[in-house]
């Protein structure tokens, strides 16, 4: 078996001889690598998870009234804007349908209202849509779609939150309100749809169109129109076609697709990740100071040994290498342990924060581990360079005199 | 005309500038040592004998004058070449043994060999040298801290010999040893000298100096 370089062996033995000190120094790197890799993995998993959920509705275009407020993003359904243009008319709906060709086009009403179920009260999003569209677009996990105005279906998260089941009654509104309160019965529970931009039904109540317009008014005044495109490749052409048809004179509508939403989410996540990584970076900075300190102690303790090594013919660069190796051993071992731990801790943290580990083993996620390792090891080596340089430039006569 | 001396000093001065005034550690030393000589350098503390040893040992260069080791003017050499000269031409034996604490006795002897040869010893030379100085393989597996002073100095002798240096440079080689072990070490050095090695030894002890062919006395930085 080939023996390692004698200089490397000296470094290895020095680390072993001062094991506790070396382990404590490596611990800083372990923590730094775990922090960086875990944060990176959380971010990657969130992005992948959102991208996957949105890709399910990648073929959907959402058309909303242009209220002149620029990028409206998503989640506007709870907004109450008195602007007369904050809804789409039936004419506009028909224009969109014409422009969208063979695509499936449906309209959506949405409102936010107080609700009460048994002893729990809160506020919920209430959607309404054409009966046909409801059956085409939404899937039931159990029960049936509403057949009268006093019947509704609800999303699975809503069921969990308010602890209800098929047959439960929900009181919508407040008796002090203008609309008063009304009690409806749950006839069906929807299947989970996840995050989507067209309709967030998981945590909402979906009512019949007549119920909605009867209660909130605004018949043929739609909150948004969704276009389900047959072929995803046509999405740009259809967007353009709707834009030309409706926005020729004035900007009447905004057309959004999931890529735009994904970009917004990715960009927000990116900003948050950078901030978290900067904080994690501080732990690596502390580790670097700790390694520097350990290396300086090692040099000071071994001045005489350095003198001996120099006097019997060890070159400066070999002394330099010896101490850089020592820092590298601490760094690589620390980064290695950090990598293993970040896989374990990262898995738990990703599960806790993202809710799924489905994307944990995706390259975008796992790549954070070697990246964290490299950063940790490199920082360690850099911290060792000055002490090593100092050691190599000691005067051999002075060093031999040291006790 | 005789052969070139293995060590030749011509009017060597070593001046240490200090705020209180320059210190002339060596003040015009000229000296020639032929191959195969056994020379003792004696002098009181602060006489300049350690400075002289550092010059001969290529650990330092003179402020003035020339020091030639095997014909090479050390004042003209780079740090790299000086280090290589120490490695290849000089075997050091120190008063405090100065073995590398991280390495075993065997590895201590092997170390200068590795520095020079860039390969591990597969000729058995290292153990052969250790056997010659009375350190068997079992003892050679121990760290210096596990050996007695006499054993450590034996290992140091073996280490000094491993690269077949032209010069053996001994700085108070028996200073930390009892009289019995001192005699053994001195006899070992004398035997090496008989085999043809040049031995330079700094000592305080007149009895030890008697092993040498020639004694040089240093006083106030000059040869007395």
pLDDT for position A72: 45
Comparison of pLDDT for A268 and A85, the residue scoring more:
A268
| Pair A281, A358 in one domain | yes
Chain A CB contacts of B80 under 8 Å are 315-316
Q: Do B57 and A311 touch (CB under 8 A)?
A: yes
Calculate how close chain B gets to A379, using CA atoms only, in Å: 26
| Pair A157, A193 in one domain | yes
Overall pTM surpassing 0.80 (yes/no): no
Domain boundary among A257, A286, A317: A257
Domain extent at residue A343: 3-54+263-401
Domain boundary among A204, A239, A257: A257
pLDDT at A79 over 70: no
Residues B170 and B189: their CA atoms lie apart, in Å, by: 9
- Distance set, CA B138 to CA B106, B122, B135 (Å): 10, 18, 8
Residues B189 and B195: their CA atoms lie apart, in Å, by: 10
C-alpha closest to that of B49 among B168, B167, B221, B224: B221
| Pair A74, A123 in one domain | yes
pLDDT at A133 over 70: yes
pLDDT for position B32: 94
The residues in A 13-42 lying below 8 A from B, measured between CB atoms, are: 13-14, 17
ipTM tops 0.90: yes
Chain A CB contacts of B92 under 8 Å are 311-312
The per-residue pLDDT for range A5-41, each reduced to its tens digit, is 888 888 888 888 888 988 988 898 999 999 999 999 9
| Pair A331, A300 in one domain | yes
Q: Calculate what percentage of chain A has a pLDDT beyond 70.
A: 95
Chain A CB contacts of B115 under 8 Å are 6, 312-315, 318
pLDDT for position A2: 58
| Pair A175, A94 in one domain | yes
pLDDT at A77 over 80: no
Comparison of pLDDT for A283 and B142, the residue scoring more:
B142
The top-scoring range by mean pLDDT among A99-103, A191-195, A249-253 is: A99-103
| Pair A68, A139 in one domain | yes
Burial B66-100 (b: 16+ CB within 10 A, else e): bbbbbeeebbebeeeebbbbbbbbbbbbbbbbbbb
Which of B60, B101, B112 comes nearest A312 by C-beta?
Answer: B112
pLDDT for position A250: 80
| Pair A306, A378 in one domain | yes
Q: Do A310 and B83 touch (CB under 8 A)?
A: yes
Average pLDDT along chain B, 224 residues, taken 10 residues at a time: 81 91 90 94 88 91 92 92 93 89 91 84 87 91 93 92 91 86 89 92 89 92 88
Cβ-contact A200, A224 below 8 angstroms: no
Q: What is the mean pLDDT of chain A?
A: 86
Instruction: Give the model's confidence band at A69: pLDDT under 50 very low, under 70 low, under 90 confident, else very high.
Output: low
Chain A CB contacts of B82 under 8 Å are none
Q: Do A10 and B120 touch (CB under 8 A)?
A: no
Which of A14, A17, A315 comes nearest B80 by C-beta?
Answer: A315
Calculate how close chain B gets to A403, using CA atoms only, in Å: 11
Q: In A230-365, at which residue ranges do the beta strands (DSSP E only) sit?
A: 253-257
pLDDT for position A75: 42
The residues in A 307-366 lying below 8 A from B, measured between CB atoms, are: 307-316, 318
Q: What is the 3-state secondary structure (H, E, C) of A388-400?
A: HHHHHCCCHHHHH
pLDDT for position A85: 63
pLDDT at A321 over 80: yes
| Pair A303, A177 in one domain | no
Question: In terms of residues, how long is chain B?
Answer: 224
| Pair A143, A215 in one domain | yes
| Pair A269, A388 in one domain | yes
| Pair A252, A267 in one domain | no
Q: How many domains does chain A have?
A: 2
On the 0-12 / 13-18 / 19+ scale of CB atoms within 10 A, A403 is exposed
The per-residue pLDDT for range A196-231, each reduced to its tens digit, is 778 888 989 999 999 999 888 888 889 999 998 888
Find the closest chain B residue to A310 by CA distance: B83
Beta A221-222 vs A88-89: how paired, if at all? antiparallel
Tokens 């009512």, located at residue: A207
Find the closest chain A residue to B115 by CA distance: A314
């Amino acid at each position: 078996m080939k023996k390692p370089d004698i200089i490397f062996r000296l470094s290895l033995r020095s680390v072993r001889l001062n094991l506790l000190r070396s382990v404590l120094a490596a611990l800083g790197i372990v923590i730094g690598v775990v922090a960086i890799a875990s944060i990176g993995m959380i971010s990657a998993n969130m992005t992948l998870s959102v991208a996957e959920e949105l890709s399910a509705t990648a073929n959907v275009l959402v058309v909303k009234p242009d209220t002149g407020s620029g990028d409206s993003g998503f989640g506007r359904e709870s907004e109450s804007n008195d602007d007369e243009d904050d809804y789409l008319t039936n004419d506009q709906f028909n224009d969109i349908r014409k422009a969208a060709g063979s695509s499936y086009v449906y309209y959506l009403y949405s409102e936010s209202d107080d609700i009460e179920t048994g002893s729990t009260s809160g506020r919920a999003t209430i959607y309404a849509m054409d009966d046909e569209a409801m059956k085409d677009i939404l899937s039931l996990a159990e029960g049936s779609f509403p057949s009268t105005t006093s019947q509704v279906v609800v999303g699975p998260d809503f069921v969990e939150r308010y602890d209800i089941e098929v047959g439960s009654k929900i009181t919508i509104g407040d008796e002090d309100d203008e609309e008063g309160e009304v009690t409806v019965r749950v006839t069906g529970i929807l299947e989970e749809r996840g995050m989507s931009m067209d309709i967030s039904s998981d945590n909402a109540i979906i009512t019949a169109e007549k119920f909605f317009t009867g209660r909130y008014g605004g018949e043929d005044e739609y909150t948004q129109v969704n276009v389900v495109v047959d072929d995803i490749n046509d999405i740009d052409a259809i967007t353009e076609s709707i834009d030309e048809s409706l926005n020729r004179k004035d900007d009447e509508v905004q057309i959004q697709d999931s890529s735009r939403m994904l970009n917004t989410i990715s960009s927000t996540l990116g900003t948050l990740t950078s901030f978290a990584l900067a904080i994690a970076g501080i732990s690596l900075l502390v580790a670097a100071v700790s390694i520097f300190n350990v290396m300086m102690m090692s040099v000071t303790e071994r001045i005489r040994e350095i003198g001996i090594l120099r006097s019997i013919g060890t070159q400066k660069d070999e002394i330099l290498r010896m101490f850089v190796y020592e820092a590298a051993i601490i760094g690589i071992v620390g980064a290695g342990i950090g990598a293993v731990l970040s896989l374990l801790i990262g898995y738990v943290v990703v599960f806790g924060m993202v809710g799924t580990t489905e994307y944990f083993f995706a390259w975008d996620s796992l790549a954070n581990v070697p990246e964290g390792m490299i950063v940790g090891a490199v920082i360690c080596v850099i911290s060792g360079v000055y002490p090593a340089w100092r050691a190599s430039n000691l005067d051999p006569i002075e060093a031999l005199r040291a006790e | 005309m005789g052969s070139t001396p293995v060590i030749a000093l011509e009017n060597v001065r070593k001046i240490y500038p200090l705020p209180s005034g320059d210190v002339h550690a060596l003040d015009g030393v000229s000296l020639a040592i032929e191959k195969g000589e056994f020379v003792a350098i004696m002098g009181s503390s602060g006489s300049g004998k350690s400075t002289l040893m550092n010059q001969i040992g290529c650990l330092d260069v003179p402020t003035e004058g020339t020091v030639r080791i095997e014909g090479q003017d050390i004042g003209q050499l780079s740090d790299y070449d000086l280090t290589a000269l120490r490695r290849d031409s000089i075997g050091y034996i120190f008063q405090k043994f100065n073995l590398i604490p991280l390495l075993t006795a065997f590895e201590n002897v092997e170390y200068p060999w590795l520095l020079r040869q860039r390969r591990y010893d597969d000729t058995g030379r290292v153990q052969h040298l250790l056997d010659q100085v009375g350190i068997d393989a079992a003892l050679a597996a121990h760290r210096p801290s596990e050996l007695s002073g006499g054993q450590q100095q034996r290992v140091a002798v073996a280490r000094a010999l491993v690269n077949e240096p032209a010069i053996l440079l001994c700085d108070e080689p028996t200073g930390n040893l009892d009289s019995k072990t001192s005699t053994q070490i001195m006899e070992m050095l004398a035997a090496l000298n008989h085999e043809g090695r040049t031995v330079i030894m700094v000592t305080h002890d007149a009895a030890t100096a008697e092993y040498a062919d020639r004694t040089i006395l240093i006083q106030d930085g000059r040869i007395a």
